Structure 1
């Protein structure tokens, strides 16, 4: 089976705002969406986190 498309790839970052600004400025990747949660959805354990999504073109998304 050959991969046709990747929806998103996710990486860790220290500063989401700075990361979104850098990718927008230098790689012209537009901000799509941010999702913030205070717990792990599957276990409901406390774990505040945020996902930010950037348009990587061609229907692909880069997430941090």
Structure 2
């Protein structure tokens, strides 16, 4: 996901996964997700990351 040894542009994996998820949903790949146990992510992750995880879990339908 990131260039080895690079110090330039860096995008956290959560945001990369979110972009991939959006593309897969847009092209119609079926997706099942659950918010069960989501609250466990809030114990050790910052809000910016838990928000990204929430968006991934909740994004199950194509949007225009």
TM-score by length of 1: 0.28
> Where is the strand percentage greater, Structure 1 or Structure 2?
1
TM-score by length of 2: 0.28
> Where is the helix percentage greater, Structure 1 or Structure 2?
2
Higher relative contact order (CA 8 A, sep 6+): 2
